[in-house]
Each structure stands twice: as structure tokens, then as C-alpha cells.
Amino acid sequence: MSNPSWQPWQSGQGDSQRAQDVPQSGQDVPRRPWQQAGLPQAWPGSSPPVQGFGQTWQGQTAPSLLASHADRERAVDVLRAGYGEGRLDKGEFDRRVGRAYAARTVGELALLVADLPQGPVPVNQAAPAVPATFLAAPPPTNGKAVGSLVCGILTFFTAGLTGLPAVILGHSARSEMQRTGERGEGLAMTGLVLGWLSVAGWALVITILIAAALASA
């Protein structure tokens, strides 16, 4: 049966060894990088978080990893967002920004922004609806444009006799709408198209009749 590695008579030696490991008063205690920068320390036994702002360092979990310029700028962006939202006062913001630019490791930067959200908090607030009373009234529809459309549709039932009034009303409506800003451009254009088709149809019929009369003479 093997003897245990520690024996009661070795207690004096173990106590003296442990006493040597405990720093005496006045002796410099080794400090971690984030303690040297004057940053708040995390819970005992835990390491500073690596993910704390802007972007996740993929595959980099060591808080002692040296920080890059981009890492510092991301930390400063989060600090600016927190200051803009009123989470930090001016003095605290200035101190943290100075420490961010002076930080050497990712762990130091993570502690600086550990109590801030990941960038600005979005405000999902819909704009209040404006009452209809305060909305500008839409411009009215031009009456001649409506008349042009009606005359253009009636060309199918009057053998094209209302085509010429549709053309006249359509051109008059367009000139008035350009001057007054009224609506009805589509109505006037539809009436003009139907009116000109009927007029062209009548012109074609009259031309054929004249040509037939001349041929029979």
C-alpha cells in the first residue's frame, strides 16, 4: 500500500511553502491587463467576456488576444451609441474612450462595453396619423375631361357622331388642367383617343364614298 504524498509531519513544510506564495504587505501583486488599465473586474474565477460589442471575434476566445485598430474603433462606436442614448455621462464617456484607444487586448475592450447594448437600441414607434381635417384636399377632377370620356364611349353607340365633341372637350380639358392643376389627365386622353378614332373612321368612309362616286361618273 503506497503512502500518501502528504504526511502530517510535513504540515510545517507545506505551511511555509504556502506562506511564500502569499504576497506580503508592501510587495507588488501581479495584476492582470484589465486591472492595470483601471477597468472593472469580472466575477471571481471568470475571464472577461470576449464578445461585447459590434462584432464577434470568431475563433478568438482568449481575453489576452492583442486588439487591432478595428477592434478599438468598434468599441468606441458602441460607447458613442451609449452616450447618445444617455447611458453614459460626458465624463464617463471620455474616460472610456481614452481607455479604449489605450487598450492592448480584446479583454480590456470587452470590459469597457460589457454594460452597454450592442449598438443603438432601435425605436419602433410608428408616426402618428394626421387627422383628415388637417390633410390637404385633393384637387378636383376637370369636368371637361369627364365629358370627353363620355363622348368617346358614346361613339360606339352613335356610329361615331360624338367623336368630334370628344376631341374638342379633350383638348380643352388638357389646357385647363395644366393651368389649374386639376385631375383627369387619363380621362381626357381616353376621350381624345376614342374621338380621333371615330373621326378617322368617318374620314375614311367619306373618302371611300367620294372615290366611288368619281369612279362611277
- pLDDT reported for residue 125: 55
Q: Is residue 134, in this structure, part of any structural domain at all? A: no
pLDDT single digits (tens) 146-185: 999 999 999 999 888 899 999 999 999 999 999 888 999 9
Instruction: Go through the chain and tell me how many residues it has.
Output: 217
- pLDDT reported for residue 115: 86
- pLDDT reported for residue 138: 83
Is residue 189 within 8 Å of residue 152, measured between CB atoms?
A: no
Domain boundary among 66, 97, 112: 112
3-state SS record for 147-196 = HHHHHHHHCCCCCCCCHHHHHHHHHHHHHHHHHHCCECHHHHHHHHHHHH
Domain boundary among 90, 112, 134: 112
| Domain span including residue 197 | 143-216
Is residue 171 within 8 Å of residue 192, measured between CB atoms?
A: yes
- pLDDT reported for residue 17: 47
CA distance 166 to 13: 117
- pLDDT reported for residue 127: 57
Q: Is residue 10, in this structure, part of any structural domain at all? A: no
- pLDDT reported for residue 165: 92
CA distance 64 to 83: 27
- pLDDT reported for residue 63: 65
Q: Is residue 5, in this structure, part of any structural domain at all? A: no
Q: Name the domain count of the chain.
A: 2
Q: Is residue 80, in this structure, part of any structural domain at all? A: yes
- pLDDT reported for residue 62: 59
Number of C-beta neighbours around residue 117 at 10 A? 13
CA distance 148 to 48: 78
- pLDDT reported for residue 134: 65
Number of C-beta neighbours around residue 113 at 10 A? 24
Is residue 152 within 8 Å of residue 163, measured between CB atoms?
A: yes
- What is the mean pLDDT for each group of 10 consecutive residues in the chain (217 residues)? 46 46 48 47 40 41 78 90 88 92 90 76 57 75 93 90 92 91 92 92 90 85
